[in-house]
Chain A
Amino acid sequence: MSSMENHESEPRAIERPAWSTRETSEGAQGLFPRRITEPGEIGRESGAVLRLPEGPVLDPSQIDIDRPDDETMIINMGPQHPSTHGVLRLMLELDGEVVLRTKSVIGYLHTGMERTGEDLTYVQGATNVTRMDYLSPLHNELVFSMATEALLGIEVPPRAVWIRTLMCELNRVGSHLMWMATNGMDLGSTSMMIYGLREREMIMTFFEKTTGLRFNTNYIRPGGVAADLPDGWLDDIEVICDTVEARSFEYDDLLTGQPIFRERTEGVGSLTAEEALALGVTGPLLRSTGVPWDLRRTMPYMAYGELDFDVIVGTYGDNFDRYAIRLAEIRESIKMIRQLIEKMPSGDYRLQDPKVTPPPRGRIDTSMEALIHHFKIFTEGFKVPEGEVYTAIESPRGELGCYIVSDGSSKPYRMHIRGPSFVNLQCLPLLLRGGLLSDAVAVISSVDPVMGEVDR
């Protein structure tokens, strides 16, 4: 571990950026109100980001900031912390309780998934990708399968398209319920945690019934869906929709009725539209600033073209807006699920092309050709023509993109996943600046980062 002494001895490959001595418009990190700072400075955000080596926790006096009163202290809101939603570490520069600058240190859950993705065939790829964003795993599988199908140039049968949309919307409701739970817990209402997880259990049992696992299911595969919907799925989903919709109004009264909740969310962590666009923020964070950008509406994929739903847009871009957006999106998703149930087409749930879809187990014993297909697909995998493609869908956290380069073999040559949380985390220093430490807790939970997707 790089202790303090050998930090200086090993030649610093990169010279220290001279941000500390450069005169920013905010003077020597003085606390001027935000409206004096010109947009350029905000865009650059060197004012709010603490650019330090993340190794040791430094003493402020050692990083030669010319602050008149060296009362600021740099503390760690480290990887093992109850309210950092996983293993995110924040190096916070505090003046008493007020957060001045932040550096979000990530990588504590780096699993090398993009490297593992290069060693797995396209058939196995979804199992690796589904473990990235573990709150909405079906979205990862969907974006990987859509990218593979785009490379193969194949069309998925209509029933598979509608089943995929149905499962993804259910997954979105589950992910937003988990967010409501942890956001409530962070702001002190443990009962919200229990309610949120109780509703989510109903969706988990439906996933277990359909796919066999509660999540990380590998249910959406290139070429369609792993299995058809179980019988009796119709009234399961109706029960879920009615219960969750009725209870979402209960959560609304539980939370917005509380002065503590309103005090800690209204006006806290506010973001403006041009800052969000400059930082590449997408999803509920971008919509909370008033930009009506939802990939399901503007670039419809799967069955979203035929569904009637509203895009929810906020006004102030603060925590309360993001809470209201996610709550309303739960209701929108339920509205969509109800439409999906009525118009669910019949037919086969998987592409009948033997090169891509393995034959059903029963037929292997009888026909030799089925056995050969089965053997080839599961050992070596199907070959994907050479080329590269970038597909993007709207996951509960923002634009989830998958960039695959294929060299004609049966394993992706390069598989990169654009994680929405990875980019959304960059607006943390901007949102935390000038707020209290307890506001930092509320803002981290309202940005809703999932560390599996951030660190990949």
Chain B
Amino acid sequence: MSDASIGILSGVPQQAGIGVDQIAFPSRDGYQGLVSSLRDSGFELCADLCAVDYLTHPGRRLPDGIGPERFEIVVNLLSLSQKRRLRIRVQVPEAEPVVDSLFDVYPGTEAMEREAFDLFGIRFAGHPDLTRILMPEDWEGHPLRKDFGDGRVPVQFKEIPGPR
């Protein structure tokens, strides 16, 4: 753990994940600042950005001081020089699902953020082209939300599993 990133992460509640993973839980407004300072401190590549909907699974392990919200943005950073990964999980309330966009820090997250917007409806402030990427343009609703019916065509010999 290079001392630069220790200093940056000191103020942020952390948690040790499975195996060697390390997870940080910044607040929504400190999120973009933390990511850009992390990039300068050695995390050259943003491997993955995805969203999770915790509607039907509220009781998840969170470090104290972090209120569980419905949505969560999970960012995986990868440091090539230190051969290390860091996961950042940001809570996003259901009432106002807006998060700062990471486009200015990592231009590679543009498509991932568009996918999170398309499938979950989480908007990214400052994103250059926030339109649907996977679903057709005129599709209503965000399919990966837990309360979105799974569009299953009833099969003859199987009872219809209601939306979970």
Q: Do chains A and B touch in the complex (CB under 8 A)?
A: yes
Query: Could you tell me which A residues sit within 8 Å of B by CB distance?
Result: 1-2, 14, 17, 19, 43-46, 49, 51, 53-55, 106-107, 110, 112, 114-115, 118-119, 150-151, 153, 277-282, 291, 293, 298-299, 386-390, 392, 399, 401, 403, 405, 407, 413-414, 416, 418, 422-423, 425-426, 455-456
* Least Cβ–Cβ distance between A428 and chain B, in angstroms: 11
Question: A390 to B130, Cβ gap below 8 A?
Answer: no
Contact of A54 among B110, B137, B144 (CB under 8 A): B137
Given A2-B137, A418-B48: A14 touches B110 (CB 8 Å cut-off): no
Residues in B neighbouring A110, C-beta threshold 8 A: 134-135
Question: A399 to B128, Cβ gap below 8 A?
Answer: no
Question: A51 to B21, Cβ gap below 8 A?
Answer: no
Question: B48 to A401, Cβ gap below 8 A?
Answer: yes
Q: Nearest B residue to A118 by beta-carbon distance? A: B164
Question: A426 to B111, Cβ gap below 8 A?
Answer: yes
Residues in A neighbouring B129, C-beta threshold 8 A: 17, 49, 51
CA distance A112 to B152 in the complex (A): 11
Q: Is the interface of A mostly helix, strand, loop or mixed?
A: mixed
Contact of B47 among A19, A389, A392 (CB under 8 A): A392
Which residues between 37 and 74 of chain B lie within 8 Å of chain A, taking CB atoms? 44-48, 50, 52-53, 57, 60-61, 74
CA distance A281 to B80 in the complex (A): 12
Which residues between 106 and 164 of chain B lie within 8 Å of chain A, taking CB atoms? 106-112, 115, 119, 128-138, 143-144, 150, 161, 164
CA distance A171 to B114 in the complex (A): 31
Question: B138 to A423, Cβ gap below 8 A?
Answer: no
CA distance A455 to B76 in the complex (A): 20
Question: B80 to A426, Cβ gap below 8 A?
Answer: no
Residue B28 CB within 8 A of the other chain: no
Residues in A neighbouring B130, C-beta threshold 8 A: 14
Q: Nearest B residue to A42 by beta-carbon distance? A: B107
Residues in A neighbouring B11, C-beta threshold 8 A: none
Query: Could you tell me which B residues sit within 8 Å of A by CB distance?
Result: 17-19, 21, 44-48, 50, 52-53, 57, 60-61, 74, 76, 78, 80, 83, 85, 87, 103-104, 106-112, 115, 119, 128-138, 143-144, 150, 161, 164
CA distance A112 to B107 in the complex (A): 25
Given A51-B128, A107-B133, A110-B135: A390 touches B143 (CB 8 Å cut-off): no
CA distance A282 to B138 in the complex (A): 33
Residues in B neighbouring A55, C-beta threshold 8 A: 137
Of the listed residues B128, B150, B164, the one surrounded by the most CB atoms of chain A closer than 10 A to its CB is B128
Given A2-B138, A107-B134, A418-B47: A387 touches B107 (CB 8 Å cut-off): no
* Least Cβ–Cβ distance between B51 and chain A, in angstroms: 9
Residues in A neighbouring B47, C-beta threshold 8 A: 280, 282, 392, 399, 401, 418
Question: B128 to A43, Cβ gap below 8 A?
Answer: no
CA distance A403 to B134 in the complex (A): 19
Contact of B50 among A2, A44, A403 (CB under 8 A): A403
CA distance A392 to B138 in the complex (A): 34
Q: Nearest B residue to A411 by beta-carbon distance? A: B164
Given A119-B150, A403-B74, A414-B53: A14 touches B131 (CB 8 Å cut-off): yes
Residues in A neighbouring B135, C-beta threshold 8 A: 107, 110
Residues in B neighbouring A17, C-beta threshold 8 A: 128-129
The list of the 4 closest CB pairs from A to B, nearest first, reads A280-B108, A107-B134, A51-B129, A418-B48
Question: A107 to B136, Cβ gap below 8 A?
Answer: yes
CA distance A110 to B150 in the complex (A): 14
Listed by A's residue number, 27 A-B pairs whose Cβ atoms lie within 8 Å are: A14-B131, A44-B107, A49-B110, A49-B129, A53-B137, A106-B133, A114-B119, A119-B150, A150-B19, A278-B106, A278-B108, A279-B108, A280-B106, A387-B18, A390-B21, A390-B87, A405-B52, A405-B57, A407-B57, A413-B57, A414-B53, A416-B48, A416-B50, A418-B50, A422-B111, A422-B112, A425-B111
Question: B44 to A277, Cβ gap below 8 A?
Answer: yes
Residues in B neighbouring A401, C-beta threshold 8 A: 47-48, 76
Residues in B neighbouring A399, C-beta threshold 8 A: 47, 78
CA distance A448 to B49 in the complex (A): 22
CA distance A55 to B135 in the complex (A): 12
Residues in A neighbouring B144, C-beta threshold 8 A: 114-115
Q: Nearest A residue to B109 by beta-carbon distance? A: A280
* Least Cβ–Cβ distance between B31 and chain A, in angstroms: 18
Given A17-B129, A107-B136: A390 touches B108 (CB 8 Å cut-off): no
CA distance A401 to B77 in the complex (A): 12
CA distance A387 to B74 in the complex (A): 14
Contact of B143 among A115, A387, A414 (CB under 8 A): A115
CA distance A293 to B31 in the complex (A): 27
Contact of A282 among B45, B107, B143, B150 (CB under 8 A): B45
CA distance A183 to B148 in the complex (A): 41
